[in-house]
Structure 1
Amino acid sequence: MNTASAVLDVLHDRREALVEFLQRLALAESPSTSSAAQQPALAQLAEALGELDFMTRLLPGQRSGGQLYARPRARRRAQTAQLLLGHIDTVWPQGTLATMPVERDGDRLRGPGVYDMKGGLTQMVFALRALRELGLEPVVTPLVFVNSDEEIGSRESTRRIRRLARTVNRAYVLEPSLGADGRLKTARKGIGRFTLTIKGKAAHAGLNPEAGASAILELSHQIQHLFALNDPAAGVTVNVGMIDGGIGPNVVAPESRAVIDVRVPSHEAARQVEQAIRALTPVTPGVSLRVEGAIGRPPMERTPAGQQLWHMAQTLGLELGLHLEQAAAGGGSDGNTTSQYTATLDGLGPVGDGAHAHHEFVHIDRLVERSALLALLLLAPPLPGTPAP
């Protein structure tokens, strides 16, 4: 029996244990906004990794529940490493289980966070467990990093992700796959958030409106300029998603504000859009503009090293009977960060649907095969020409 068949057989035998683990993880609600609520789910992961003879450490957070870091106790100091990356936080507030319970329906498991991304974390545990059961030790040491603030921008954990990404040979990101056919994500758009604040001059709207300068009128002009930056053919989206301003209906508005979401497919597009936003100039006499913000998550572009990793996954998938495809995603992840420093393969998590939606679910049978794929990827030799200790 070859390695692929052996791994798949072990995971098929552990199918019910895998489902039970994911159910428990989903029942431990872990919203991004509650550090305390995240601890039971992090503890479940730490316990599972400890049973696999990993040394685990919870790195404390100041504004989050912290991060879980784990490595094999028996790691050889000079051995090349690979990163398994995920997040424990979900977008769902505490108490969501009352209206969105964890339920099994045939081949589907439903519940908050099962798809994004506790299913991927479960696959990680069981891929490592299958290798241990078969006595198969990766020649590239697996390191585990799980943060608790990914859904709110990874502001606290990004510096540690960067530090790890600079030292590893490759990164496997356990975010959910793309689409019903489970495509792997080899490119992601960069994400920016900008705030445009306009200062005008207040005046009585009936007695002397000409003495004022309306920040709301100016905002209406700037919104049109911002939407004109959209370029669907190039994959650039600029969206004014929130606006506010004014102090009363009978007052010429002295201030207004807009919050802008930017998605860009490349570093060059990021530079051009950011430059255009910062170059906005007033149309209305007597007003001033202030732009704050930046591209917070850089684009994950296809690189030679990343494509080499993708082709390796595609080949290993065939050994499991999987015909994998690659895709670009409009949303961001911590894979955007790792891809700046090392070969990165994202979307290795479950096949299902409903990220951030009430119908969230995963396909149970696909959890098994995706765990097997991850196990084979962990066994692969190091990529040439990528970071090593």
Structure 2
Amino acid sequence: MTVRGSAAVRVDAMLDDLRKLVEAESPSRDLDALRASAGVVAAVVESRLGGRAVLVEGEAGPHVHWSGGGEPRVLVLGHHDTVFPIGTLARRPFRVEGGRATGPGVFDMLGGLVQAVHGLAALEDRTGVEILVTADEEVGSGSSRALIEERARACGAVLVCEGAADGGGLKTGRKGCGTFEVSVRGRAAHAGLEPAAGVNALVEAAHQVLDIAALSRPEAGTTVTPTMASAGTADNAVPAEATVTVDVRVETAGEKQRVESAFANLRPHLEGAELVVRGAVGRPPMPESASAELFRLARGLVPDLVGTAVGGGSDGNFTAALGVPTLDGLGAVGGGAHAEHEYLVVDAMVPRARLVTGLVEAIRAERARPDSELR
């Protein structure tokens, strides 16, 4: 891969910055931790790219926005929140051993942020490039979605630096995803003296679990998976309340509508039971058509790159749903997202940073063509 950037991309500098980000623990919804983390992200961005990184306050914590000025052309998108609680770092500190970097968030997705920043630092000209690093991706992007969509529309092309697919592939499609909660209200009674006087919320929940699981259509790429349940307060009482939580993944807008309609039309099986259903498929599907042109440019830089559709969602789902060309999985090569064995492959950091450099140059050149499909 050949890029024209004037600055060298150095793995030691990237690892120094990665250490700073990992050691600023940033669990979602912990506002104090996220404010501190956003400050570290902003400092790294400013030290490598110059200019000013602006903290955009949100209900879920500060988002970090940087612009190279000029007419917006490319949005580099990521997040600085992680799934790991404060204290994880003490058990699992940042380390570089055996060609791997480990520590909470190295793969999802602090390594990708660092690679993107250093890739952009290698550009001779950074005009038209923006970076948006949000604080709530891991919990649905409720406070950042409007800002993400605004900047995506303005820029017209989005590069998402989430972790790579298996083997370093790019993510060219994603399922839409959402969470539903079904609450059951029954009536309590003594389980030994008069069980028939009650309405057993747990039994009703069992009926609902079977109905809900039957909504899956694997042949259409739709999975509807009950994942958590709770009921009851005592072992000798008919439970008056129960709750079922459900994970939903869909590949098409039609399946999103079908599943949401089915949840809205759930009905109780037991006389006297009541249901309250909350939730939606909050992240729309990211069709592979949304990434086609950007993936073509990436393959022009690295011919053996592989693209794959995955089940997990990202903020790229939102930008793709707007019709904005979006390419995902440009971040770290590694694995173990959200797990204790999370890791990043150090030898892949420089090539991935250079891929970001080359893609930005290629996008700007492509959009300058009068017949470009990215215009």
TM-score after normalising by structure 2: 0.92
Offset from partner CA, 1:261-315 (integer Å, 9 cap, x none): 1111111111111112222222222222221111111111122x52111111111
Residue 39 of structure 2 corresponds to 43
Q: Give 1:5 shift.
A: 5.7
1:53 and 2:41 aligned: no
| Secondary structure of residue in 2 paired with 1:291 | strand
Amino acid corresponding to residue 84 of structure 1 in structure 2: V
Q: Which residue of 2 aligns with 1:314?
A: 299
Q: Is 1:337 paired with 2:318?
A: yes
Indicate the residue corresponding to 2:78 in structure 1.
86
Match of 2:11 in 1: 15
Runs of at least 5 residues in structure 2 that lack an aligned partner in the other structure: none
Aligned residue in 2 for 1:231: 217
8 Å contact 1:184–1:326 — kept in the other structure? Answer: yes
In the other structure, the counterpart of 1:201 is 187
1:143 maps onto 2:141 in alignment:
no
SS at match of 2:168: coil
SS in 2 for 1:10: coil
1:324 aligns with 2:305: yes
The structural deviation recorded for 1:161 is 0.7
Read off the aligned partner of 1:163 and give its amino acid letter: E
The aligned counterpart of 2:254 is 268
After superposition, residues 1-389 of structure 1 pair within 5 angstroms as 4=2, 7=5, 10-11=8-9, 14-51=10-47, 52-62=49-59, 64-72=60-68, 75-76=69-70, 79-131=71-123, 136-137=124-125, 141-179=128-166, 181-303=167-289, 305-318=290-303, 323-341=304-322, 342-380=324-362, 381-383=365-367, 384-386=372-374
**How many angstroms does 1:146 deviate by?**
0.5
Q: Which deviates further from its counterpart, 269-278 or 242-251? A: 242-251
Give 1:371 shift. 0.4
CA distance in 1, matches of 2:177, 2:153: 21
**Pairwise CA distance, 1:386:** 4.7
Give the secondary structure class of the aligned counterpart of 1:195: strand
Moved more, 258-267 or 19-28: 19-28
Whether contact under 8 Å (1:235, 1:265) holds in the other structure is yes
Distance of 1:274 and 1:146 partners within structure 2? 30
1:6-63 C-alpha deviation (Å, 9 max, x unpaired): 559822xx2211222212221222221322223343223323333423332101123x
Is the CA contact 2:288–2:309 (under 8 Å) kept in the aligned structure 1? no
Deviations 1:300-345 (A, max 9, x none): 1122x52111111111123xxxx11111111111111111121100
Alpha-carbon contact 2:72-2:129 (below 8 Å) kept: no
After TM superposition, the score normalised by the length of structure 1 is 0.89
Q: Deviations over 1:89-119 (max 9, x none)?
A: 1111112122111111132111111111111
Inter-partner Cα distance in structure 1 for 2:143 and 2:76: 18
Confirm or deny: 8 A CA contact 1:137 1:379 kept in the other structure: no
Separation of aligned partners in 1, 2:12 and 2:79: 23
Q: Secondary structure at the match of 1:339?
A: helix
More displaced 10-residue stretch of structure 1: 197-206 or 120-129 = 197-206
Distance in 2, Cα, partners of 1:212 & 1:47 = 60
The structure-2 alpha-carbon separation of the partners of 1:6 and 1:165, relative to structure 1 and needing over 3 Å to count, comes to closer
In 1: Cα distance, 2:258 partner to 2:241 partner: 27
Contact 2:171–2:328 under 8 Å retained in 1: yes
User: Which segment is superposed worse, 31-40 or 112-121?
Assistant: 31-40
Query: Partners of 1:26 and 1:210 in 2: how far apart?
Result: 56
1:222 is paired with a residue whose SS is helix
Q: How many residues align?
A: 367
Match for 1:266: what amino acid? T
Q: State the alpha-carbon separation in 2 of the partners of residues 208 and 61 from structure 1.
A: 52
> What SS class does the counterpart of residue 190 from structure 2 fall into?
coil
Q: C-alpha displacement at 1:205, in angstroms?
A: 2.5
**Secondary structure at 1:166 match in 2:** helix
Cα deviations by residue, 1:339-389 (Å, 9 ceiling, x for unpaired): 1121100100010111111111111110100000000011122443557xx
For residues 167 and 126 of structure 1, what CA distance do their matches in structure 2 show? Answer: 23
- State the shift of 1:204 in Å: 2.8
The answer to whether the 8 A contact 2:191-2:238 is kept is yes
